[in-house]
A and B are shown apart, each in its own frame.
Chain A
Amino acid sequence: QKEVEQDPGPLSVPEGAIVSLNCTYSNSAFQYFMWYRQYSRKGPELLMYTYSSGNKEDGRFTAQVDKSSKYISLFIRDSQPSDSATYLCAMSALETGANNLFFGTGTRLTVIP
């Protein structure tokens, strides 16, 4: 079983739709949860960063973490064509020296004008 599972999609939505992206994980030691956006042939760009459980909102983006279910989500409101990219969830544990990130495979999103 992979430590982080993410539906690869692809996911196509019309402009203005609400997008829901999700990841599940198996390692209960994960405490830091991130969402990265990766445009084609580019490096991942950090979108959201959450520590432990709860919600975090930044503009059109909301990140949710449910540690009891080992489930994280990213919601995009009023989606735009410029949101078309691959979205990667990533997470890491809290123990000292555990700096490496564990990534999902990414979900490819296309927002259709």
Chain B
Amino acid sequence: NAGVMQNPRHLVRRRGQEARLRCSPMKGHSHVYWYRQLPEEGLKFMVYLQKENIIDESGMPKERFSAEFPKEGPSILRIQQVVRGDSAAYFCASSRGNQETQYFGPGTRLLVL
């Protein structure tokens, strides 16, 4: 019974490069959420997706960040032209349905040099 899977677990990028973070939801879950956790801060909501649709992206920075959840394959959080301030832990969660319990993955720790 695999939980939410995220990869890579650790990612190092230089300023200006692109970062791609992947999330596979739990089996039977079609709702995916991305959160960011900065050092000494709580998790902050970024985006909520269902298959092929972005439902709520109110927490996404206006530039450089995008997310998708295609019909086949994992959800992708993409950060273009990374800056040092993007260094954080990025967590993905999934749920079976709308407003149901969210289960979190182990996170991807992004370090921008």
Contact A99:B56 (CB < 8 A) given known A43-B104, A44-B104, A46-B103: yes
B105 near A4 (CB under 8 angstroms)?
A: no
Interface size on B, residues (CB 8 A): 28
Q: How far is the CA of A100 from the CA of B55 in the complex (A)?
A: 11
B42 near A6 (CB under 8 angstroms)?
A: yes
A105 near B41 (CB under 8 angstroms)?
A: yes
Q: Is B1 engaged at the interface, CB distance under 8 Å to the other chain?
A: no
CB distance from A30 to the nearest CB of B (A): 13
Point out the residues of chain A lying under 8 angstroms from B69, CB to CB.
none
Point out the residues of chain B lying under 8 angstroms from A34, CB to CB.
101
Beyond A42-B106, A101-B45, list 4 extra A-B contacts (CB 8 Å): A46-B104, A88-B42, A100-B58, A103-B44
Residue from the list A42, A45, A46, A88 in contact with B43, Cβ < 8 A: A88
B80-112, CB under 8 A of A: which get 1 and which 0? 000000000001000100110111111101000
14 contacts between A and B (CB under 8 A): A4-B42, A36-B104, A42-B106, A43-B106, A46-B103, A88-B42, A88-B43, A90-B43, A99-B55, A99-B102, A100-B33, A100-B59, A103-B43, A106-B42
Point out the residues of chain B lying under 8 angstroms from A6, CB to CB.
42
B43 near A101 (CB under 8 angstroms)?
A: yes
Q: Is B31 engaged at the interface, CB distance under 8 Å to the other chain?
A: yes
CB distance from A12 to the nearest CB of B (A): 18
CB distance from A77 to the nearest CB of B (A): 24
Point out the residues of chain B lying under 8 angstroms from A49, CB to CB.
101
A99 near B31 (CB under 8 angstroms)?
A: yes
Residue on A with the closest CB to B48?
A: A99
B102 near A101 (CB under 8 angstroms)?
A: yes
Which residues of chain A in 3-55 are interfacial with respect to chain B, using CB atoms and an 8 Å cutoff? 4, 6, 8, 32, 34, 36, 41-46, 49
B21-46, CB under 8 A of A: which get 1 and which 0? 00000000001010100001111110
